[in-house]
Amino acid sequence: MVAQSITIKVISDACGVLPQTLRAWEKRYGAFNPKRDHSGQRIYGHEDLKRSMAIASLIKRGFTISQIACKSLEELQRLLDETQVIVDENPFLKLGGEESERNRILELISEFKFDEFVEEFNRLRTLMSIKDFIFDLSIPIMREVGQRVVDNRFSITQEHIVSSIIRGQLNELKSPVDLFVKSKGSFHRYALATPEGNHHELSIVIADLICGINRRHTTYLGAAHPAKSLAMAVTALKCDRIVLGTVHSELWDYEKEMIPYLKKMDEGLGIDVEVIIGGGWNLNFPKMRRIKKVHFLESFELFDKKLMQSIL
């Protein structure tokens, strides 16, 4: 057996991720399990090297570290294969974040020039299609800002301000999207919400628009719903699809909380539904009475793709 002999610097150079970010992936999410040499230095193996490169590539394609950190190398490779079509069809992703408009916006965020940031976003919103504005600008900017917070290049305050501005910009698109849905909508009705303990709404704001672009009727319910209260609302509104945006954090443990939350919701439902979960990772979801199927989706791009294919 070949001994582990790869340092974190080699890993960093290979995948293009800063060492402090790799350590955060390891400490917070268990992405790697290195050995230590006699001096206490972390020593990584060749599988860790392959994992780091796969994880870095998937993050560029829209996944979050919490979604993929615990996946096996085989699962990571499968996701790379599945999402290659999305990358091939999206020149913005191919550019790897070097596109000038996006760099200009990131520079404004870095310099706290948020008035100019709003003006630039307003300008681009009028020039771009709704779908391009969401997938080629808003989502990549939020992901890059989030990564820079992890890298200690942006503050949490900057992230919150950017999130608030982008949410406002996306809300401006809601009326034209609603008119589009009314012209020819689907049979299913989608409720968009986050579970109790999840106060970040941006993910379901984006999901709401993606549903609209794909002519799905939606009811936006907002953030932090207790399970049984959400079940009552969904039943009364006759929504047979529930889109749940989740964020794993120190305050809300996705792995411990998600299935019990679904079970409580299932107890209160008066209609059959399917649940679509984003922001976490796939779990061994049990069979339930009213929740007939649980879909886990790793990215907004895959959500859009499955809606286009009428899978959801």
Query: Are residue 268 and residue 216 in the same domain, yes or no?
Result: yes
**CA angle 78–80–85, rounded 5-degree value:** 110
Q: How many domains does the chain have?
A: 3
Q: Which amino acid is at 203?
A: S
Query: Are residue 189 and residue 223 in the same domain, yes or no?
Result: yes
CB 282 within 8 A of CB 299: no
Q: Which of 116, 139, 171 is the last residue of a domain?
A: 171
CB 92 within 8 A of CB 140: yes
- For residue 30, is it within any domain? yes
Enter the pTM of the model: 0.68
pLDDT of residue 296: 92
CB 12 within 8 A of CB 53: no
CB 185 within 8 A of CB 217: yes
Interatomic CA distance for residues 141 and 132, integer angstroms: 13
- Mean pLDDT per segment of 10 residues, for the chain of length 312 residues? 67 77 85 83 86 84 80 89 61 48 89 92 80 88 89 92 93 76 71 94 94 90 96 97 91 93 97 95 94 93 89 81
Query: Are residue 190 and residue 302 in the same domain, yes or no?
Result: yes
pLDDT of residue 304: 92
- For residue 18, is it within any domain? yes
Q: Which of 51, 81, 111 is the last residue of a domain?
A: 81
**What six digits make up the tokens of 25?**
């992936």
Interatomic CA distance for residues 200 and 203, integer angstroms: 7
CB-based contacts of 81, cutoff 8 Å, min separation 6: none
**What six digits make up the tokens of 256?**
């411990």
For residue 100, what are the domain limits? 93-171
pLDDT of residue 97: 40
- CATH number of domain containing 226: 3.40.50.280
pLDDT of residue 33: 85
Query: Are residue 251 and residue 274 in the same domain, yes or no?
Result: yes
- For residue 202, is it within any domain? yes
pLDDT of residue 181: 62
Query: Are residue 254 and residue 189 in the same domain, yes or no?
Result: yes
DSSP sequence for 248-292: --SSS-HHHHHHHHHHHHHHH-SS-EEEEEESS----PPP-SSEE
User: How many CB atoms are located within 10 Å of the residue 241 CB?
Assistant: 21
- For residue 176, is it within any domain? no
90 Ramachandran zone, left/alpha/beta (phi>0; psi -120 to 50):
beta
- CATH number of domain containing 144: 1.10.1240.10
pLDDT of residue 96: 44
pLDDT of residue 92: 45
User: How many CB atoms are located within 10 Å of the residue 41 CB?
Assistant: 11
- For residue 2, is it within any domain? no
pLDDT of residue 292: 97
- CATH number of domain containing 76: 1.10.1660.10
Query: Are residue 297 and residue 231 in the same domain, yes or no?
Result: yes
Q: Which of 81, 101, 125 is the last residue of a domain?
A: 81
pLDDT of residue 35: 84
The values of phi and psi at residue 123, to 5°, are -60, -45
pLDDT of residue 234: 98
Query: Are residue 205 and residue 245 in the same domain, yes or no?
Result: yes
pLDDT of residue 34: 86
pLDDT of residue 179: 65
pLDDT of residue 91: 45
